[in-house]
Amino acid sequence: MPKKFVVTPWEVKGEVDYDKLIKEFGTKKIDDALLERIEKHAGELHLYLKRGIFFSHRDFDWILDKYEKGEKFYLYTGRGPSGNTHIGHLVPWIFTKHLQDVFGAELYFQMTDDEKFLFKRDIDLKTSMGFTYKNALDVIACGFDPKKTFIFSDIEYAKTLYKIGVQVAKHITFSTAKAVFGFTNENNIGTIFFPAIQAAPCFLPSVLKGKNIPCLIPAAIDQDPYWRPSRDVAPKLGFYKPAQIHCKFIPGLGKGGKMSASEPETCIFTTDSPEVAGKKVMNAFTGGAGTVKEHKEKGGEPEICTIYNYYRFFFEGADKRLEEVFHACKRGELICGECKGVLAERVKKFLTEHQKKREKAKDVIQDFMLKD
């Protein structure tokens, strides 16, 4: 029996089989030919492409066709501001920043404070709007170009977004929305309209600049359902279909599943003190055997180890070292305490630097926010 997993914009459960997801969602794998094309532009492939963390796409090859012919595209991504940012959230943002650098693209960054208010029972509007600003600090700390980066709250930028949203909404029937998002009679009516608002930024720069501009969305694969109706509607409104590039989920520090804010001990928040984060790493679930003696005899299981998985996300430029770690663990030569210690130091250093940039972002946040 294949193991069951669920991936929707609201729920990620079980051991995700990413190849199967590509088939189910009807996206394309990022293959060697595409990687070669990207490498030509980037000079060197980003860590997340080399390690298959960004693994799937829709029409990214078309984006490159356009770019190579001199037609610039823009980037669109976003965040549902329901709590503090954790380092799993940073993965698509770090990669988006890389794309901005390589292609000189503008970025439109949506903060869906409306979405989190509508979909989550225990959050009021003031709270989600507050997290828009707190989370924006983390976005800015990633180093985006202030001249080319526009962050907006759905609530505060509603006048512009609503105008696009209603045009999208008119072309999506309730029956399609039910099929794509699984809505039922119990859904509040705000949630049913919301996908039109998440679709709006796919066309926003085209509207603002009065010409059709290709759009590329870097995001975790769970957001893909949103782009299916957006792509269907695009030609009806006279726009290009938005292209996507999808990443996998960063695992939590507990057994199985993605990093999730609802299990704070398994996730490293950007607001955690480096000491607290270090302790979380030291308490993480590993692929080690029950005792050190057993581990030395039988070896560990890096395949299921959260620490090893983190190495894949955060150990820059050290592919060979990564392989060595894998085999040393398998042979029982490398014990968990040592491995955790190395990662804890890395994470502490990363957080210390990120937090400095996050503080500085407070002085410039207004330069990034789009208002109408």
> How long, in residues, is the chain?
372
As measured in angstroms, the least distance from the Cβ of 184 to ligand TRP is 19
Query: Residue 10 in contact with residue 182, Cβ under 8 Å?
Result: no
Report residue 244: phi and psi, to 5°: -135, 155
φ, ψ (nearest 5 deg) of residue 223: -85, -10
DSSP state, residue 51 = T
Q: Does the footprint of ligand TRP cover residue 132 (CB under 6 A)?
A: no
Of the pair 27, 286, the CB lying nearest ligand TRP is at 27
Interatomic CA distance for residues 157 and 371, integer angstroms: 5
27 touches ligand TRP (CB under 6 A): no
38 binds ligand TRP (CB under 6 A): no
Can you tell me the distance from the alpha carbon of 152 to that of 368, in angstroms, rounded to the nearest whole number?
A: 8
The single residue among 16, 137, 219, 336 that binds ligand TRP, judged by CB under 6 A, is: 219
According to DSSP, residue 302 is labeled G
Interface residue with ligand TRP among 46, 58, 66, 79 (CB under 6 A) is 79
The distance of closest approach from Cβ of residue 57 to ligand TRP in the complex, given in angstroms and rounded to an integer, is: 14
- Contact call for residues 106 and 149 (beta carbons, < 8 A): yes
Q: Of these, 118, 196, 204, 217, which contacts ligand TRP (CB under 6 A)?
A: 217
Nearer to ligand TRP, 79 or 280 (CB): 79
Q: Is the CB of 206 or the CB of 223 nearer to ligand TRP? A: 223
Query: Based on CB atoms, which residue is closest to ligand TRP, 119 or 311?
Result: 119
Beta bridge partners of 58: 244
Q: How far is the CB of 104 from ligand TRP (least distance, A)?
A: 20
Six-digit token string for 186:
């119990």
Q: Can you tell me which of 55, 78, 128, 150 binds ligand TRP, judged by CB under 6 A?
A: 78
Q: How far is the CB of 218 from ligand TRP (least distance, A)?
A: 7
Q: Which of 246, 185, 284 is nearest to 12 (CA)?
A: 246
**Sequence-ordered alpha helix ranges (H) in 74-157:** 87-103, 113-119, 125-141
Q: Which of 96, 223, 271, 309 binds ligand TRP (CB under 6 A)?
A: 223
- The binding site for ligand TRP (CB under 6 A) comprises 9, 76-80, 110, 112, 115, 198, 217, 219, 223
